Amino acid sequence: MAIWWIRRDLRLNDNAVLHAALGRGDGLIPVFILDPHREQHPAAKRHAFLYAGLRQLDADLRARGSRLIVRRGDVSEVLPDLVAETQSRAIFAEEAYSPFARRRDDDVARGLPLHLLPGLTIHHPSSLLKPDHTPRTVFTAFRRAWSRLPMPDDSDILPAPAHLPPVPDELLSHDVPEASAPADFAAGEAEAQRRLKAFTSGESPAMWDYGTGRDRLGIDGTSRLSPYLRFGMISARQAAVAARQSPCRDGRGAETWLSELIWREFYHSILFHFPQVLSDAFRADLRSVEWSNNSEDVAAWREGRTGYPVVDAAMRQLVQTGWMHNRARMIVASFLVKDLLVDWRWGERWFMEHLIDGDAAANNGGWQWTAGTGADAAPYFRVFNPIVQSQRFDPDGAFIRRWLPQLASLPSPYIHTPWQAPDHIQRRCGCVIGDGEDYPAPIVDHALARQRALAAYRAARHFS
């Protein structure tokens, strides 16, 4: 008997761990462990998506003659008990890269026959070292090295098994917690496959215009596959194969999307080789920035009432749906760190509490990139202007009007800067700007805030 220990691979297609476990030929126990460590971290929407995914995986397993066994408790206690109960001779799992997961797996492997296989990324971080065997920390060099490695094709994608060995009836399984899954993201492998197909194929796939459409806030120009990649409801390998095969106009959309997948692999590599990034800046010269961390400013940012419409619309999208457009993530991150001079770790934690696709590597990498503190990050002196970003990437204000209905009637010339609308227009549109009114005035002057941030960064570099 073999145990398939499911962690971040809630799928039957292209699952090397599942195939390796089946290769033992003497029975299979698919297991997911509800570890109390996970539930200590508030992330209601992400947990609900996971639970819905587990229920769908159980249905997929049952359709093939098997079923999902769910156990609750500390892994160090649950797995030994399960091995003894089932007389299993091997545990197969997909290798994880976070510091917590690696410590956990090392502990398990000391007492149990644990076999870890790759699958979280297309290429393992250890395969992308420089000639001197040190990690690559510049993305362009990482991408070149990544691209030189063999790329998967259709023949590499492992099919889902048509039938699976039955799980003994007497084996106890706990109920998956009940939770309302996010409305915009149906969980499960079938939905992930549907989204991938819709994005990459058909008469006019969104990937055709991904090179430009991915930055437009008001249109559906991205794949929205990140939650499914986060939980392995689809493999990164299959996503890359689909990108390469997409019938794009000039190939640039597919190339750009593939580059985003490589960014994901880059951040996983950084976390694998530099686990300290989860608690500190990658760049040593920017570890002593003197942050303001004003609690009122942080609350305004979290609640979407900074007075900058594009920031507030994005923050409300996050809290209401558990997802945020990638361009919007950069805008709101820059605003928190540079305009409000708040420690990037505060924003990183808030995102992890609310994002359905919250992933330690990608989230940390994104925040440190915007803050200018990470590996191959944007220069610290790059500060997003929220007005310019809004005008450029939401030109007609569709994104703002959707998430800030109180601004919906404002004429387009004022949708990005409502405080500039004349009083009579504000009254006519039913949206008076200012303290205690329908929509707040800006809580900070961007130009002055930019100078304050640059001074704080320069001081940190000077004293490093």
Tens of pLDDT, residue by residue over 286-296, are 999 999 999 99
CA distance 304 to 298: 10
pLDDT range class, residue 181, cuts 50, 70, 90: confident
CA distance 371 to 373: 5
pLDDT in tens, 96-111: 999 999 999 999 999 9
pLDDT in tens, 124-167: 999 999 999 999 999 999 999 999 999 999 999 999 999 999 99
* pLDDT for residue 108: 98
Looking at the fold, whether 100 and 131 belong to one and the same domain comes out as: no
Amino acid 53 reads G
State the CATH number of the domain containing residue 346.
1.10.579.10
pTM over 0.85, yes/no: yes
CA distance 326 to 338: 18
Are the C-beta atoms of residues 107 and 91 closer than 8 Å to each other? no
pLDDT range class, residue 245, cuts 50, 70, 90: confident
Q: Residues 437-463: what's their mean pLDDT?
A: 95
Is pLDDT above 80 for 204?
no
* pLDDT for residue 463: 79
State the CATH number of the domain containing residue 150.
1.25.40.80
Looking at the fold, whether 259 and 366 belong to one and the same domain comes out as: no
Are the C-beta atoms of residues 403 and 316 closer than 8 Å to each other? yes
Give the pair of three-digit tokens for residue 394.
Answer: 């939401």
Average of per-residue pLDDT values in the chain: 95
pLDDT range class, residue 349, cuts 50, 70, 90: very high
Number of domains in the chain: 3
Looking at the fold, whether 348 and 375 belong to one and the same domain comes out as: yes
* Three-state secondary structure readout of 211-262: HHHCCCCCCCCCCCCHHHHHCCCCCHHHHHHHHHHCCCCCCHHHHHHHHHHH
Is position 269 within any domain? yes
Looking at the fold, whether 108 and 137 belong to one and the same domain comes out as: no
Looking at the fold, whether 379 and 409 belong to one and the same domain comes out as: yes
CA distance 210 to 362: 20
Domain boundary among 273, 295, 322: 273
Give the pair of three-digit tokens for residue 29.
Answer: 């126990």
Looking at the fold, whether 225 and 317 belong to one and the same domain comes out as: no
* pLDDT for residue 42: 83
Looking at the fold, whether 218 and 325 belong to one and the same domain comes out as: no
Give me the numbers of helices (H) and strands (E) for the chain, helices first please: 20, 5
Is pLDDT above 80 for 248?
no
Task: State the residue range of the domain holding 79.
Answer: 2-120
CA distance 246 to 253: 9
Give the pair of three-digit tokens for residue 175.
Answer: 């109920």
CB count within 10 Å of CB 177 equals 14
Is position 183 within any domain? no
* Three-state secondary structure readout of 64-109: CCCCCEEEECCHHHHHHHHHHHHCCCEEEEECCCCHHHHHHHHHHH
CA distance 387 to 208: 28
Query: What percentage of the chain has pLDDT greater than the value 90?
Result: 88
Is position 174 within any domain? no
Is position 168 within any domain? no
pLDDT range class, residue 336, cuts 50, 70, 90: very high
pLDDT range class, residue 182, cuts 50, 70, 90: confident
Q: Does 10 or 435 have the greater pLDDT score?
A: 10
Looking at the fold, whether 435 and 344 belong to one and the same domain comes out as: yes
Looking at the fold, whether 88 and 136 belong to one and the same domain comes out as: no
Are the C-beta atoms of residues 115 and 5 closer than 8 Å to each other? no
Q: Residues 365-381: what's their mean pLDDT?
A: 95
* pLDDT for residue 249: 61
* pLDDT for residue 457: 97
Looking at the fold, whether 289 and 145 belong to one and the same domain comes out as: no
pLDDT range class, residue 250, cuts 50, 70, 90: low
3-state secondary structure of 459: helix
Is position 450 within any domain? yes
- Among 194-208, 416-430, 434-448, the minimum mean pLDDT is found in 194-208
pLDDT in tens, 2-61: 999 999 999 999 999 999 999 988 899 999 999 987 777 789 999 999 999 999 999 999
Is position 299 within any domain? yes
Looking at the fold, whether 266 and 314 belong to one and the same domain comes out as: no
Query: Which distant-in-sequence residues (6+ apart) come within 8 Å of 229 by Cβ?
Result: 236, 239, 264, 357
pLDDT range class, residue 202, cuts 50, 70, 90: confident
pLDDT range class, residue 464, cuts 50, 70, 90: low
Q: Residues 357-363: what's their mean pLDDT?
A: 98
Active-site amino acid positions: 260, 263, 291, 326, 344, 367
Is position 241 within any domain? yes
Is position 373 within any domain? yes
Looking at the fold, whether 243 and 327 belong to one and the same domain comes out as: no
